[in-house]
């Protein structure tokens, strides 16, 4: 009886050794595949697009038109304020003269 048991034990030890050898062989093969793999392919940088002169000329033109409109509006407001001031001064002067004449007639 000891003969089949010892033989089974011997076969089990050999199988375990074979398993370890197979694991080692698989690890070596995997390492070789990794070292022989092609280097990483980096993506080429995207080509820069040509400068769009038309777009920037249009933006500059629109900005210039807006700036001129704002300047004209500011001038119009300033002229309106000046005209209002002059009109008020004239009306105040006329009112003062009329009031003075009315007060002189009453006396």
Residue with tokens 């990794």: 34
Cα atoms in the Cβ-side hemisphere of radius 13 Å centred on 45: 3
pLDDT band of 45, cuts 50, 70, 90: confident
- The helix or strand, by DSSP H or E, that contains position 102, with its residue range, turns out to be helix 53-106
Position 15 scores a pLDDT of 75
Report the predicted TM-score, pTM, of the whole model to 2 decimal places.
Answer: 0.45
Position 89 scores a pLDDT of 97
Please state the domain count of the chain.
2
Q: Please report whether residue 64 resides in a domain.
A: no
Residue 39, phi then psi, degrees to nearest 5: -65, 155
What mean pLDDT comes out for the span 74-89? 97
CA distance 9 to 1: 13
Q: Please report whether residue 105 resides in a domain.
A: yes
Q: Please report whether residue 31 resides in a domain.
A: yes
CA distance 60 to 67: 10
pLDDT band of 9, cuts 50, 70, 90: confident
**Which residue range(s) make up the domain with 3?**
1-35
Q: Please report whether residue 45 resides in a domain.
A: no
Q: What percent of the chain has pLDDT over 70?
A: 88
Q: What pLDDT, in 10s, does the model give residues 63-79?
A: 999 999 999 999 999 99
Task: Name the 3-class secondary structure at 45.
Answer: coil
């Amino acid at each position: 009886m000891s003969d089949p048991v010892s033989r089974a034990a011997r076969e089990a030890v050999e199988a375990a050794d074979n398993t370890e050898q197979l694991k080692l062989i698989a690890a070596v093969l995997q390492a070789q595949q990794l070292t022989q793999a092609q280097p990483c392919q980096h993506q080429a940088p995207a080509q820069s697009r040509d400068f769009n002169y038309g777009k920037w000329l249009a933006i500059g033109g629109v900005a210039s038109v807006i700036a001129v409109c704002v300047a004209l509006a500011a001038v119009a407001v300033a002229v309106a304020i000046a005209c209002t001031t002059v009109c008020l001064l004239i009306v105040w002067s006329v009112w003062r003269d009329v009031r003075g004449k009315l007060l002189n007639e009453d006396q």
